[in-house]
A and B are shown apart, each in its own frame.
Chain A
Amino acid sequence: MRPVAVIGLGKTPFGAFPDRDLRSLAVEAGRKCLENGQVRPSQVEAFYLGNFAGPAFVGQNHLAPFIGQGLGFEGIPATRFEAACASGGTAFFHAWAAVAAGIYDLVLVAGVEKMTSQATPRVAEILASAGDVAGEMKAGATFPALFAMIARRHMHDFGTRREDLAAVAVKNHANGARNPYAHMRKVITIPQALAGKPVADPLTVYDCSLVSDGAAAVLLAPLERASEFTARPVRIAAVAQTSDRFALDQKEDINTFPAVRRAAEQAYKMAGVGPRDIEFAELHDCFTIAEIVALEDLGFAPRGQGGRYTSEGCTLPSGSLPVNASGGLKAKGHPVGATGVGQICDLALQIRGEAGEMQLPRHELGLAENLGGSGASAVVTILRAA
């Protein structure tokens, strides 16, 4: 396996864009990325696309060649990856594997989702198809409901407080307000978060990530060739993809995501670092409780203490481990298929020192965690300055 670098980045803003279609978003992110890496479409050898539910949200299937054509690709392999909310991370993992194995030199990875053209109950229904449709979802569960049940159990077992969940939302909203590409740039307070409209008890709207449109893209190349394209290559120190039991009621302990623990173990080993070495992270805060559990599964906080760790301020931009300086899924937005690729962009922006108002003081070694469903898929990535 040879070392691989991120040599280009491109993103659209995340938000609700009624006048934009799925392809135009993906093409915008892809073109920005190619320009950023100073690569012509004809140089790209393979196209990897993360997308969760284009067919259900906009009625279009066979998406990778559909978008590839818009990017000016001709004849190259173009493949869509679907792993629920980890679709983007999964596409990134497989693109990395192909470059690391020497199959290709230059590959483009994009992630996209166009969600806001559907009404909320229909969006909930489409998202629910990432769960066990014949089991938990048939009983009337939604994704907020699954994570609400995790929150309930975490509160029961470890004394996690409703205020700890709110602290995640308050932090990520404050961070998102500094991100020009964020869906929601609105600072909120703990009382506001606690008084939000209930979605699935104890979660309110402020505990839930946003339904967004958006796309993100990254270009990968062997590290040895990175300097041909950029003065600021970012090294992929590790990336690991894992899976786990599918439905929440099939798990022995819902306070942990074994897929994340397993991916983290592999990624730390591959990168030769441990949780204490990581300087900042982008975590999959699809719901506030998910960020708390991820802090524990990744080894940043002791088991059961992710809420306390957050309320103590450890994950603030000024804390010992800044988490979701971009605003996270909570404020930046969560166009499902774009999320995992967007996290890679946000880590790379920090490492390159190009994060503007979001720029963190320590930014050379960052970790991203992308979660699919209620934990059946996970991708953990570690990036470092090359």
Chain B
Amino acid sequence: MKVYTETVVYSAPEAYVNEAPYQIVIVIQDDGSRVTGRVLGDRVAIDDQVDLIETRNGVPYFSKRNQ
């Protein structure tokens, strides 16, 4: 799975104000479909390989793949 695009959110909506700043990604999954999720750990960039770490409240959390 790899990162299609990403951003770091500094100005968060009401529900996530306490979590900002946080990184959001659109990930291209192995079946070619895309999903929007969060990043855990190191900041990722476009084309970085990532792994799905967990799903919380229906939101996928990804981390940069260890080389």
Contact = CB atoms under 8 A, between A and B. Distances in A.
A124 B58 contact: no
A121 B17 contact: yes
Given A152-B7, A153-B5, A248-B36, A140 B12 contact: yes
A58 interface: no
A269 to B, nearest CB: 32
A138 interface: yes
A199 interface: yes
Contacts of A128: 13
Interface in A245-265: 247-250, 254
A317 B11 CA distance: 32
Interface in A107-152: 120-122, 124-125, 128, 134-142, 144-145, 148-150, 152
Q: How large is the interface on B (under 10, 10 to 19, 20 to 34, 35 or more residues)?
A: 20 to 34
Interface in A143-178: 144-145, 148-150, 152-153, 156
A198 B35 CA distance: 24
A227 to B, nearest CB: 50
Contacts of A199: 10-11
Contact of A142 (B4, B9, B34, B57): B9
Nearest to A208: B11
Contacts of B11: 120, 124, 142, 144, 199-200
Q: How large is the interface on A (under 10, 10 to 19, 20 to 34, 35 or more residues)?
A: 35 or more
Nearest to B38: A139
A201 interface: yes
A142 B22 CA distance: 12
B5 A254 contact: yes
A135 to B, nearest CB: 6
Contacts of B58: 134, 138
Interface string B7-25: 1111111111101011010
A249 B17 CA distance: 23
B59 A201 contact: no
Contacts of A135: 35-36
A149 B46 CA distance: 10
A124 B8 contact: no
A37 B17 CA distance: 47
B34 A249 contact: yes
Interface in B36-62: 36-38, 46, 57-60
Given A139-B37, A247-B36, A125 B13 contact: yes
B58 to A, nearest CB: 6
Cβ-closest 9 pairs across A and B:
A148-B7, A136-B36, A149-B5, A121-B14, A201-B8, A124-B13, A125-B13, A249-B34, A153-B5
Given A125-B13, A139-B60, A142-B11, 6 more contacts: A125-B14, A144-B11, A145-B24, A153-B4, A200-B9, A200-B10
